[in-house]
Structure formats: C-alpha cells, structure tokens
C-alpha cells in the first residue's frame, strides 16, 4: 500500500511548492512564434480601445481569468479572499480550486465561500476533478460545489498525468466522457472542462465537444508543471524519478488553442498555461480564445496582498489594451479577427 497524504496536507504542499520551488515545464507556451503586425496608423484613441465583453451573461472589464487554484486550508482561504477582492475591484473572472475537500468536510466551506462574499458581482467558477465522477460524485456534488460559492459556471478539471505520477493518485479515467456529458446536460450552469497544464489535443477537444461542454480551458504546457510539483512532494525516489520524466510533456498552449479551434469549432476557448502577460493573452485571443488566465503568477501575488493581485490585473489589462491599439483592433471582436504572423 503506497503512502497517501491527507487531502489537506496535499493542498498546503501544493501552495508551498508552487511558491518556493521551480515548477516550470521544460516547454514554452508556443506563443513566441506568433507576432502581431504593427499598425503605425491604427486610427484609434488608446483610451477608447474596448477590452470589455460579455461571457455567460456577465459583463467583464477585460478578458482575464484568475485560474482555478485553491481552498481547503486557512492559508488557501486567505489567498482566495485576496484573489476575489481584486477580481471584484477590477471586474475580471475567477475560479476557485477543487472543492472536493469542502464537499467531504463542510468545515472547509468558508475557505471557498469567502470568494462570493467579497466578490458579489464577478463571474465566478466552481471546480471539481472530473475523475471524482468515477468515484461516487455526480450531479448532486456538482450542484453543491456551484451552490457553495453561488458560481456562474463549473470547471471540471482533467489531470490524468498528475494523478498517475503521485503516490496513490486516482487513475481510473475509463468511461468518464459519458459522465461529463451527463453533468453538461443537467447542470443549471455552464460546464467548462479544463486541463491543468498539459493542454488539449484535437481528439480530446472532439470528445469534449460531443459531451456538450460550454467551453474548454486548454491549460496548456509552458507554465506550471504538475509533474514537477509532484516531483517535489514525492515520498520516495521511485515516485520522484517517475514524476521527473514528464518535465517536457504536454501540448503547448498556442497549439492547444489551435487544436480546439480546429476540432471543436464554435466551442468557447479559454487559454491558459504559462501565459506571461497581456501580450500572450492577446495572441491567444487572435488565435481563437475568448479570454486568458494565469494561475501561478496570481498565486505569487496573492501570497503578498490583494493590492499585488490588483496590480497584476491592472497591468495585464493595460498590456492587452496597448496591444490592441498598436495592432489596430478597436475591440475584442476585431482582435479575434486579426491574423498573426507565424515565424518558423
């Protein structure tokens, strides 16, 4: 029997390792080879360039998502509160981390529900591992996760590799698609399926589109690598070496966005995974995404203060606005219609 850390210890380890260790993928996000064409005569006023848009019935100030991260410990509750305060102040979207721990232990609910308390108006996403649908969770638990934070949508995350490289991970991924489809069909809010940092292939995109997902968050390779995180918390050398094998694994974010666009046309795409700044988000939008998210970067800011999170959102929003200005895109629809130059 392998040693398995309790879920609360795992959550603390995840935050600590992500803050203190180098957990970056060996791959890049793939966006370096794409370039906007500079427009010297954009015929636009910078302050009139419009970064706002409506998603799932909510108007957002910018196409920015604070990606799903945490909850389930006191520190995680503080981080969620800071992220949500900044999201509320600047009106961007946010996801909480996996809520399994709070469904199994109601004492942990406040570490998640604090988000809605401090951010009554934001587009807020609940989160569960899709694998839980193979371990007894169903529609009821998905509804519970949504109700817990009065979410506007539910992320189901796919993390087969992370589960496979950790001691005692849940690796029974067979027959999951039909259960995801059932949740998509019956849940009252949109269901978005996401990876956690290894991206989405054309085949997976097709299956997810057939499941009826409202959106796909590619969470591609190029940023936080969960095999690297698991390597740092491995209980023995065998597990450490197993996890270390996958440092260069995954589909870079740029390729993942294009995969989904091709294989599941019409499906809303969220871009995340190693995005560095507003320029990367703008490139992803030009490639076909609706918005872009960061996780690791927001975690580091939230570990300091709400203001640091807000500063990062402000800078990112302004970067997007300046990119649009210099590329001659008056709004996000125009940005989506831009064709990027690709260097080999």
Tell me if 30 contacts ligand FMN by CB under 6 A: no
The residue range among 104-112, 138-146, 176-184, 266-274 that interacts with ligand FMN, by the rule CB under 6 A, is 266-274
User: Which of 256, 272, 290, 319 lies at the binding interface for ligand FMN (CB under 6 A)?
Assistant: 272
DSSP for residue 84? H
Report, in Å, the least distance between residue 307 CB and ligand FMN: 20
User: Which of 108, 224, 290, 321 lies at the binding interface for ligand FMN (CB under 6 A)?
Assistant: 224
Give the whole-angstrom CA distance, residue 302 versus residue 291.
Answer: 21
Tell me if 91 contacts ligand FMN by CB under 6 A: no
DSSP for residue 93? E
Cα–Cα distances in angstroms (integers) from residue 104 to residues 8, 33, 100, 136, 172, in the given order: 11, 45, 6, 12, 20
Contact 49, 278 (CB under 8 A): no
The residue range among 111-119, 163-171, 267-275, 283-291 that interacts with ligand FMN, by the rule CB under 6 A, is 267-275
Give the whole-angstrom CA distance, residue 309 versus residue 202.
Answer: 34
User: Which of 153, 197, 288, 328 lies at the binding interface for ligand FMN (CB under 6 A)?
Assistant: 197
Decide: helix, strand or coil at residue 280. Answer: helix
Q: Closest CB to ligand FMN among 14 and 116?
A: 14
Give the whole-angstrom CA distance, residue 196 versus residue 184.
Answer: 20
The residue range among 10-18, 83-91, 184-192, 308-316 that interacts with ligand FMN, by the rule CB under 6 A, is 10-18
CA Rg value for the chain: 19
Please, which of residues 102-161 interact with ligand FMN by CB under 6 A?
127, 155, 157
Report, in Å, the least distance between residue 43 CB and ligand FMN: 34
Tell me if 166 contacts ligand FMN by CB under 6 A: no
Give the whole-angstrom CA distance, residue 86 versus residue 305.
Answer: 10
Give the whole-angstrom CA distance, residue 59 versus residue 49.
Answer: 16
Q: Which residues bind ligand FMN (CB under 6 A)?
A: 14-15, 18, 67-70, 97-98, 127, 155, 157, 194, 196-197, 219, 223-224, 272-275, 294-296, 299
């Amino acid at each position: 029997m392998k040693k398995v850390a309790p879920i609360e210890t795992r959550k603390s380890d995840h935050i600590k390792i992500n803050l203190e260790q180098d957990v970056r993928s060996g791959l890049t996000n793939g966006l370096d080879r794409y370039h906007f064409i500079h427009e010297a005569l954009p015929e636009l006023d910078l302050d009139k360039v419009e970064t706002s848009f409506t998603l799932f019935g909510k108007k957002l100030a910018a196409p920015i998502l604070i990606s799903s991260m945490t909850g389930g410990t006191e520190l995680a509750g503080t981080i969620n509160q800071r992220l949500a305060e900044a999201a509320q102040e600047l009106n961007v979207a946010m996801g909480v981390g996996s809520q399994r721990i709070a469904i199994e232990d109601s004492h942990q609910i406040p570490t998640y529900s604090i988000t809605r308390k401090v951010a009554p108006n934001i587009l807020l996403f609940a989160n569960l591992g899709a694998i839980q649908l193979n371990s007894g969770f169903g529609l009821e638990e998905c509804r519970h996760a949504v109700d817990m934070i009065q979410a506007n949508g539910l992320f189901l995350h796919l993390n087969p590799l992370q589960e496979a490289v950790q001691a005692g991970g849940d690796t029974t991924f067979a027959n999951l698609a039909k259960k995801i489809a059932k949740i998509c069909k019956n849940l009252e809010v949109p269901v978005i399926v996401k990876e956690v940092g290894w991206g989405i292939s054309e085949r997976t995109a097709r299956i997810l589109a057939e499941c009826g997902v409202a959106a796909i968050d590619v969470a591609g390779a190029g940023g936080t690598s969960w095999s690297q995180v698991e390597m740092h918390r491995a209980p023995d050398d065998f597990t450490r070496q197993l996890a270390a094998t996958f440092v260069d694994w995954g589909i870079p974010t740029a390729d993942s966005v294009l995969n989904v666009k091709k294989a599941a046309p019409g499906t809303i795409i969220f871009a995340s995974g190693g995005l560095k700044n507003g320029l990367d988000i703008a490139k992803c939008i030009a490639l076909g995404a609706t918005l872009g998210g960061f996780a690791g970067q927001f975690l580091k800011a939230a570990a300091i203060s709400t203001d640091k999170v807000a500063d990062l959102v402000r800078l990112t929003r302004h970067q997007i606005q300046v990119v649009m200005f210099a590329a001659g895109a008056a709004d996000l629809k125009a940005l989506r219609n831009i064709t990027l130059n690709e260097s080999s």
